[in-house]
Structure formats: C-alpha cells, structure tokens
A and B are shown apart, each in its own frame.
Chain A
Amino acid sequence: MSVFLIGQQSGIFMFLTNSMAALVKNNQSYIWVVDDKTTNVNALGSIDIRIGTELQSLKGVAHVFPLVTAGVSAKFRNGTSAGLTLIGVQVPEFAGGPWDMFSGKKEVLFRDGAIITDYFNSNALGNLAPGEYFEINGKQVFNAGLTKGVDAFGGIYAFTTIERARYLANMNTDKASAFLVQLNNEQNEQDVIRTINNHYFGVHAWSGPELTKETIFTVLATSGIAFSFGTIIVFALIIGFVIIGLTLYSSVIDRIKDYGTLKAIGATNSYIRNLILTQAMIIACSGFVIGTIVTEIFRKGIATTGTIFSYPLWMRFAFLLITLVIAFFGSLFAIRRIIRLEPGAVFRS
C-alpha cells in the first residue's frame, strides 16, 4: 500500500512538474529569450519586438521566432466560460507549438479565426466540439484542431498564430512574450547565451533545459506543492514502516516459542536476525510487486483523463530500494524482541 501511495503521488507529482514547464519542455532546442524578471515560463513579461530583430543579426543565429502568451477569457455556446492561456506562434514555422497534434494539422491555423485546443480539455471548455465556434474576449473564433495531452500547469493552453493572438488579447504589435532563437550550430549555444546576457538589457537568455528547471523550481518554491506531496510521501513511508513492523512483530510474537527453542538449541542471534530479515525482504518484495501492479492500473486508469505520466527506470529502482529500507527498519523491532529473549525462557511456558 505504501508502494502504491508513493508511486501514485510521485507519478502525479511528476505529471505536474512536467506540465509546469510544458511550454519550454516541448521546445527545448531553442534558446529562450525572455524578460529578465521572470524565472517562470508560465508568467512571462513582455519585451520589445525590436530586440528580436537585433537578435536575428547576432553571429551564429539562424532564426528568431517571436512567441506571445496571453491570458484571455473564452465564452462558449452552451453559456459557460473559461480562462485560457493563448499561445501565439509565428507561422509557418510553428516554433513554440502546438505539439502532440491529435486531429487536424498545425496548418489549420492559417484559416481565419482558427484556434487549436486540447482533446482532454473539451469538458473544461464548455464541451467544445471540433469545428465549433466560440468567443475569445468577445471575438469569434473556432476550434480548428486538437492536440492530445498538452497540459498547462493550472491552466489551459490554446494555440493560434501570433498575429491572431495579439489581436484577440488586444496586445501591442511591437511586443512579444519571448523569442525562440534557433542556432546555425548547436555547439555555440553557451556562447550565444552569454553574448545575449552580456549585451542586452532587460532580457535574459536561457537554454531550454535551464528554463525548464528554473520554472519547476520557481513553481515548487512558490506554490507549496512540493510540500504537500512530500507530506503524503512521508506519511506513506511511515505507514509502510508501521505495517511491516507490526506484521513482522506480531508474527514473531506468534512464534516466540519457536524462536526460543531455536535459541536454546544453539542458534545464535545473528542467525535469527538473518532469518527475520529474510522474512522482511520477502514481505517487501511481494509488497513491491503488488504495489507496482496497483500503481500501474492506476496509471492506466488516470491516463484516460489526460494525466499521463510514466516512471523512469531509476524511479522504479528507487521505489524498490525505499521498500527494502522500510522493511529493514520495520524488522528492527522484531529483531530486538528476539535478541532480548533469554534462551532460558524456553523451559518456562
């Protein structure tokens, strides 16, 4: 059960941390130039469009793609409304998204009023059907295509062209939220980042992975999520510890006479300790297998709602290790009990 809880919580946690920086994570190969006050890709400031033109002339830079993100409110035909994070990308390069297309092509964004939403968000978006019209900030748009599994942290992403995004969000045409810089040669990445950070005032350049890390760190530090997941995992550890401890302890008490007999006929404490540890490891391993199966079922189940996560191999090893450690500490009580048992007690029963 502990294994399941830990697995489940860390799975969701991973899903959330993934979604926290989804926008950068899916555009890791670019250098991200954003305003210098943000360390969170979910809260970008605005920067002057002329910086983009200047970046374009830097040595080693192949292309600079502006990106606009804007919070907008959408109203649907069934009368409900919802907040959206609109991501405007330059076409036809589509630097910045959309990714994980499910139905339709990115190119549908060329059509007038086209917006791409996510398959799993249909519920949140007033049961929006493919092709259906809705309003963003009072202007008519339509659901042109679907991504599947594009998650924004605590929000909903929708994609469109940069011009349409500015128009819908009433944003100045001389502003952008970020520039995605593509290089001629990947190897120069650090040099270019350094050049930008040394010569441009008011902006900061990040490599994709750095901004991802920084974003997750910022969100974790400011939202208390890490703390609440941490607490649940700590509880799971304690539960596991207590359960294994009690199971072993009561099985030892049940068979205290057998252990006493063993000691009397000449078994050493270390022999008995190994015996109990072996039992603990067996319990731990079967618990791990059951926990893994249950977590796997949970994972499959929750994937249908769009919460997709998977465990890397190291995490599975970590789970196994944690389980074994739990079992080890759980067995200490039982071992202590037996070691304290006097061999002479065997004659008194």
Chain B
Amino acid sequence: MIAKLEKVSKAYSIGDQTLIALQPTDLEVREGELMLIIGPSGSGKTTLLSLLGCVIYPSEGKLWVDGNFVNEMGQKQLSALRLNTIGFIFQNFNLLAPLNAQQNVLMPLQLMGHDKKSSLVKVEQALTLVGMLDRKNNLPKQLSGGQQQRIAIARALVTDPKLILCDEPTASLDKDALRIVMTELRSLAERGKAVAVVTHDPRLKEYAHRIIEVNNGVVTETLDFEQ
C-alpha cells in the first residue's frame, strides 16, 4: 500500500463561503494496480489526486503517502517526498518549453542532486522505455501531443517513483496516442507501480484494474466492470 486516506476531506473557502470539494473519504492506493478515477467535471477528481500527490493538505482526516504522515509534514519535506516517490503526468504534458526532451527528463534527477553521468544513463533508459530516444534533442514544440506525453511519462519514470499520478493524461491525445500512453501506464502498474489516472473518458476503463467514481465530492468504488 503506497497511500492511505482516513476520513480525508478537502474544503476550499471562497470569500465567506466554504466549498467541500471532497467529502470524508477512506481509500487505499496499492502497488501493481492502475486505478482509474472517473466522474463529472467539478466533482473533486483533481482534488483527490492533488491530495495523493501531496501538493495540498487535507482539511480533515489523515493522509499517509509511502509511510509518511502528510498532515504533519512541512513544504520542504513534501517537496522531497514528491521528488522521490511520486511521478506526475499532466493533461497538457507540462514539459519545460526551453529544454529539449533529454533535459526535461533529466530535470528531476538534477533536482535530486544526482551526478550527471549516471543520470544521463537513466534518462536514456527512460526515453528508450517510451520509445522516444531518437527524439531526445527535440524541443517540446517540435513534438506531437502523444510524443510530448511520452516524454512526460519518461520524466515521471526516471526517478523510479512508487506512485504515478496522471490528471487527464489522454485528453489532449488522439486515439492512437491514447492507446500507446494507456498501454504504457498499464504495463507500469503491472510491473509493480501504483498508478492513478483521473479521466472523463469512459474508453479508458478497459485499461483499469480498479475504478473509483467521484460524484459531488463523494467517492465510491465501482466493482463490476469489464477488464
């Protein structure tokens, strides 16, 4: 088990109003599974993912990620936790525009302070895994959406994180790119990573080991679906 939520809720205050984005939720995220988080717009999917990603604190309840009690950790410790245990994949890829593919994938290792030589070996491996080694010198804008997302996956993988979090990873992709990316994510889960994917898209169900549904901040697990 990589992450555990115990009665975790998240409320945002906008002016003098309080909006409960996530109702108290119990959830465990496990290695070896691709967990799909589906639900309508504004239902709280990203909020849930942000909690798992340690970029926001829970308002109530207890949150553990990789054995760390997140509620009581400082910003700096959380940065380190994110860097070391979590890989992020975003809807809009979020590659750093001025850096080429190789430099983008290198970035997390640089942040970790790894030496350049061994880092470059890992970067090559990660790029090979997503089949993008031949484009390592391209800038993000010289790549298609699917290719950029594969670079982003390589960036998320290069640190060998235990948990991979994806917010709408396929929303900017066409059918073929979607298949490549999802197959990649599923095989990562099958090799022992915990993968959580937020989506609107019911087509992704076929890649899931497990489906979580969020409605109006309420999380329910869907047990009957075809794999």
Binding site for B on A (CB under 8 A): 255, 257-258, 260-269, 271, 342-344, 346-349
| Distance between A256 CB and nearest chain B CB, rounded to angstroms | 12
Is B108 at the interface (CB under 8 A from chain A)?
A: yes
Contact A344–B96 (Cβ < 8 Å): no
Is B1 at the interface (CB under 8 A from chain A)?
A: no
Could you say which of B94, B96, B112 contacts A346, with CB atoms under 8 Å apart?
Answer: B94
A to B CB contacts below 8 Å, 16 in the list: A258-B96, A258-B97, A261-B96, A262-B107, A265-B83, A265-B88, A266-B112, A271-B111, A342-B56, A343-B55, A343-B78, A346-B90, A347-B50, A347-B90, A347-B167, A349-B92
Contact B55–A262 (Cβ < 8 Å): no
Q: Cβ of B108: which chain A residues have Cβ within 8 Å of it?
A: 265-266
Could you say which of B46, B86, B90 contacts A261, with CB atoms under 8 Å apart?
Answer: B90
Cα–Cα distance between A261 and B95 once the two chains are bound (Å): 8
Cα–Cα distance between A52 and B19 once the two chains are bound (Å): 95
Is B49 at the interface (CB under 8 A from chain A)?
A: yes
Is B79 at the interface (CB under 8 A from chain A)?
A: yes
Q: Cβ of B96: which chain A residues have Cβ within 8 Å of it?
A: 258, 261-262
Is B76 at the interface (CB under 8 A from chain A)?
A: yes
Cα–Cα distance between A1 and B214 once the two chains are bound (Å): 57
Cα–Cα distance between A344 and B49 once the two chains are bound (Å): 10
Is B82 at the interface (CB under 8 A from chain A)?
A: yes
Describe A's contact surface by its main secondary structure. helix
Is B24 at the interface (CB under 8 A from chain A)?
A: no
Could you say which of B53, B76, B84, B92 contacts A264, with CB atoms under 8 Å apart?
Answer: B53
Cα–Cα distance between A262 and B79 once the two chains are bound (Å): 10
The 3 A-B pairs of least Cβ separation, nearest first, read A266-B83, A344-B55, A343-B55
Q: Cβ of A261: which chain B residues have Cβ within 8 Å of it?
A: 90, 94, 96
Q: Which residue of B lies closest to A266 (CB)?
A: B83
Interface residues in B89-114 by Cβ distance below 8 A to A read 90, 92, 94, 96-97, 107-108, 111-112
Q: Which residue of A lies closest to B83 (CB)?
A: A266
Could you say which of A264, A269, A347 contacts B75, with CB atoms under 8 Å apart?
Answer: A269
Contact A266–B90 (Cβ < 8 Å): no
Q: Cβ of A264: which chain B residues have Cβ within 8 Å of it?
A: 53, 55, 82, 88, 94
Describe B's contact surface by its main secondary structure. helix
Contact B80–A346 (Cβ < 8 Å): no
Q: Which residue of B lies closest to A255 (CB)?
A: B97
Q: Cβ of B83: which chain A residues have Cβ within 8 Å of it?
A: 265-267
Cα–Cα distance between A261 and B156 once the two chains are bound (Å): 12
Cα–Cα distance between A27 and B43 once the two chains are bound (Å): 87
Q: Mark B57-78, 1 if CB is under 8 A from A, else 0.
A: 0000000000000000001101
Cα–Cα distance between A348 and B167 once the two chains are bound (Å): 10
Q: Cβ of A348: which chain B residues have Cβ within 8 Å of it?
A: 46
Q: Cβ of B79: which chain A residues have Cβ within 8 Å of it?
A: 263, 266-268, 343
Cα–Cα distance between A271 and B83 once the two chains are bound (Å): 13
Q: Which residue of A lies closest to B94 (CB)?
A: A261
Could you say which of B49, B80, B92 contacts A266, with CB atoms under 8 Å apart?
Answer: B80
Q: Cβ of A257: which chain B residues have Cβ within 8 Å of it?
A: 94
Q: Which residue of A lies closest to B54 (CB)?
A: A343
Cα–Cα distance between A269 and B111 once the two chains are bound (Å): 12
Cα–Cα distance between A343 and B111 once the two chains are bound (Å): 16
Cα–Cα distance between A218 and B81 once the two chains are bound (Å): 65
Q: Which residue of A lies closest to B80 (CB)?
A: A266
Cα–Cα distance between A343 and B94 once the two chains are bound (Å): 13
- Known A265-B88, A271-B111, A347-B50: A342·B94 in contact at CB below 8 Å: no
Contact A344–B94 (Cβ < 8 Å): no
Q: Cβ of A346: which chain B residues have Cβ within 8 Å of it?
A: 55, 88, 90, 94
- Known A344-B50, A346-B55, A347-B49: A267·B111 in contact at CB below 8 Å: yes
Cα–Cα distance between A290 and B79 once the two chains are bound (Å): 39
Cα–Cα distance between A264 and B79 once the two chains are bound (Å): 8
Interface residues in B185-212 by Cβ distance below 8 A to A read none
Q: Cβ of B80: which chain A residues have Cβ within 8 Å of it?
A: 266, 268
Q: Cβ of B49: which chain A residues have Cβ within 8 Å of it?
A: 347
Cα–Cα distance between A157 and B15 once the two chains are bound (Å): 74
Q: Cβ of A255: which chain B residues have Cβ within 8 Å of it?
A: 97
Q: A258-B94, A258-B96, A263-B79 are in contact. List 15 more A-B contacts (CB 8 A).
A: A261-B90, A261-B94, A262-B96, A264-B94, A265-B88, A265-B111, A265-B155, A266-B84, A268-B80, A342-B56, A344-B56, A346-B88, A347-B167, A348-B46, A349-B92
